[in-house]
Structure 1
Amino acid sequence: MFSIFKKDPLKKLNKQLSAKLEEAMHAQRNGDIKTYSQLSYEAQEIDKQIVELEKGLKVQ
């Protein structure tokens, strides 16, 4: 009934992923490889969450 008020978790995760990748890009451009690798790892973990959530949605 009130599904229009529910937030889409995929949209939220995609937004987080974009932000992490942008932060990683800036770190890489500034020559901070350690921060770049950490942010890239975090982005990869968010991407795994997105894939798992999409698999769950396809099953239903």
Structure 2
Amino acid sequence: MFSFLKSDPTKKLRKTYDQKLEQAMQAQRKGDIKTYSLLTAESESIWQEIEALEKSKK
């Protein structure tokens, strides 16, 4: 009945995913390739979580 009041976990994960990609881009522009690769790896794991959640919804 009150499912519209529950927060969507994928929305929060997408926001985190976008932030990680933004940080990775900034690190790449600064020439910090190590940080870029770490942030990109983190964002990929977040993306896998998002896909798993979306699959479980269907």
Report the TM-score, using the length of structure 2 for normalisation.
Answer: 0.94
Distance 2:10 2:27 in 1: 26
Gaps of 5+ in 2: none
- Percentage of pairs with the same residue: 57
Corresponding residue SS for 1:19: helix
Distance 1:54 1:6 in 2: 16
Report the TM-score, using the length of structure 1 for normalisation.
Answer: 0.91
1:1-60 to structure 2, matched below 5 A, reads 1-58=1-58
How many residue pairs end up in the alignment?
58
Please tell me the root mean square deviation across aligned C-alpha atoms, in Å: 0.8
Gaps of 5+ in 1: none
Counterpart AA for 1:37: S
